[in-house]
Amino acid sequence: MTEKKVKLQSLSGMNDVLPKDQPFLKKIQKSIEGTTSYYNFQKIEVPVLEYAEVFSKAAGDTSDIVEKEMYSFRTKGGDLICLRPEFTPGVVRSYIEHGMHNLPQPVKVWASGPCFRHDRPQKGRYRQFFQASLEALGDKSPSIDGQIIQMSYDVLKDLGFKNISIQVNSIGDNECRPYFKKILVGYFKSKRGSLCHDCQRRLKENPLRILDCKEEKCQQVKAGAPQTVDHLCQLCHAHFKQVLEFLDELELPYVINPYLVRGLDYYTKTVFEISEKSEIGMVYGALASGGRYDGLVKLLGGRDTPACGVGIGISRIMELMMEKEMKTEKKPAEGPKIFLAQLGEMAKRKSMKLFEEFRDEKIPVAESFSKDSLRSQLSAANKMGVRWVLIFGQREALEGFITLRDMESGAQSEITLDKVVQEMKNKVKS
């Protein structure tokens, strides 16, 4: 009896990255590396294999990732482990295990590589895919949310995307979300017959997930549902208001989507998705998505630690770039030449805008937006060996100028905001 010949090919949803595709992958990786380096995020590598509990505790036992998508199995020793479906829980596990709470906060790290989800393969959605994850742990300031969104936008803009759309929402926290869930359950119970089978089950287990359902019949029901932003507690409302003020100051093209919730239990307060508005881009859905996860570190056994992050879909972006036949050349980024120090909320918002103006001119600038003490910021600049420090305080913000300090001589001078980028460009060149 002869053996049946089997045609060997890649598994369903597992794709090769061919040599002709590598320039696109390389360009995306360089853009992420350049952006993270500019914002002083450090690279971290976490294992492809983790205990399954790392993800089930983080995402929630009833999440699609845990119920349908994780590649999990028992080892010979009986441990239940899985291939990572995303990076954030593994990064948090590493943060706890290695005592990173003892480091200066926030700890800003990024990771990239393959992730795995046993999802139904379709265009722009594969079972093995490349992803990058940017995480800031140990800071509750809304400026961190704004910076993470700005960085995600910077990567896509740097790669040549033009019609970038940012959707943002707040889903509250453990103080206000239980009340909102009760209101939501009341609404969906009256529409139960119009929901898909999965959402009828979610109504009992986690009603927020109904807002994340992509089924057409559920989309119609969702359109009349209560909105999270109308039921935030005072602290969550204030946090979201400040995040939007940062996005306004940065002139980012965002819209509030009151039904955006993301499909994971660990998110709190800010959630967002970034996509390309072209007809092609809509096929791929979100190119970057994330939000704040203030309770995840404690949930996984660490201290109570606020945090915020984003996942950037490298595989989706790469395929979209190839379809659009986008260019792949890119120049390397330089190190920081100037330090931008700020004092006060108004100055902080305007500093973020000024920071982006320097970035547009390819002038490297270091910053510490999460710190309020001028002494600590000057100390950080001194350790970096930066000669020029731009000091932006409340008076400077109101009167439209900035104070320049020469760290070598200690001399100070004032520069109007409309001239500061050009003057610093000249100083760096000379």
Q: Binding site for L-histidine: residue ranges?
A: 86-88, 117, 131, 135, 262, 266-267
Residue numbers belonging to the annotated binding site = 86-88, 117, 131, 135, 262, 266-267
Which backbone phi and psi does 122 adopt, to 5 degrees? Answer: -155, 175
Name every residue whose Cβ is closer than 8 Å to that of residue 384 and which is 6 or more positions away in sequence. Answer: 336, 339, 366
**End-to-end CA distance of the chain, in Å?**
82
Token pair in block for residue 240: 């979201």
Cα angle value 64/111/63 (rounded, 5°) = 10
Q: Which are the contacts of 30, defined by CB distance < 8 A and separation ≥ 6? A: 330, 332
Q: How many CB atoms lie within 10 A of CB 97?
A: 11
Separation of alpha carbons 269 and 267, rounded Å: 7
Reading the block at residue 249, the tokens are 């100051």
In whole angstroms, how far apart are CA 30 and each of 115, 144, 169, 194, 297?
19, 23, 30, 47, 29
User: Residues with Cβ < 8 Å from 274, sequence gap 6 or more?
Assistant: 149, 152, 153, 156, 164, 165, 166, 167, 286, 287, 288, 289
Which residue in 391, 389, 394 sits closest to 345, CA to CA? 394
Nearest Cα to Cα of residue 153 among 323, 292, 245, 32? 32
Is residue 280 within 8 A of residue 323, CB to CB? The reply is yes
What is the distance of C-alpha 364 from the center of its chain?
22
Phi-psi region of 301 (alpha: psi -120 to 50; beta: other; left: phi over 0): left
* Tokens, residue 229: 């932003």
